[in-house]
Amino acid sequence: MTGPLRIYVAGPFSATTTNTHAALQEVAHNVDRAIGVAVALIEKGHYPFVPHLSLYVHTNPACKADLGDWWYRFDNTFIDQWAEALFYIAPSPGADAELERAKMLGLKVFRRLDEVPNAKVEPFTS
């Protein structure tokens, strides 16, 4: 066992299709997949960061513009200053860049949940 790790969850976010209905479904699937990984990491005693949850900022009526590359700069702050490890779900341009950044910084990289050690943590209480 190890102590809890701060783990950045990297995986596809954007849709690969231009069909609006299918694109929304694909993004929702990608967000759900990242959340599923995060829940499994929490159950192992770690602290995941899920950049996919920015979907709720991006689609909120208060967000008046597409922030474009700002999202990459924002996400990189968590890799650079917060993360101790990265969980790589699957290839995408963004996830691949995040993986390379994590490797450059010497962070631990996980690709499967069974590679992630269980952490020593206090039991969950409700």
What is the residue range of 37's domain?
Answer: 6-115
CATH number, domain at 21?
A: 3.40.50.10400
| pLDDT tens figures, 4-44 | 999 999 998 877 888 888 888 988 889 999 999 999 999 99
Predicted structure pTM score: 0.90
Asked whether residue 96 is assigned to any structural domain, the reply reads yes
Q: Which range, 40-44, 58-62, 116-120, is most confident?
A: 40-44
Q: What is the pLDDT of residue 124?
A: 62
39/47 Cα distance (integer angstroms): 10
Q: Is residue 120 domain-resident?
A: no
At 68, the pLDDT band (50, 70, 90 cuts) reads confident
The answer to whether residue 52 is domain-embedded is yes
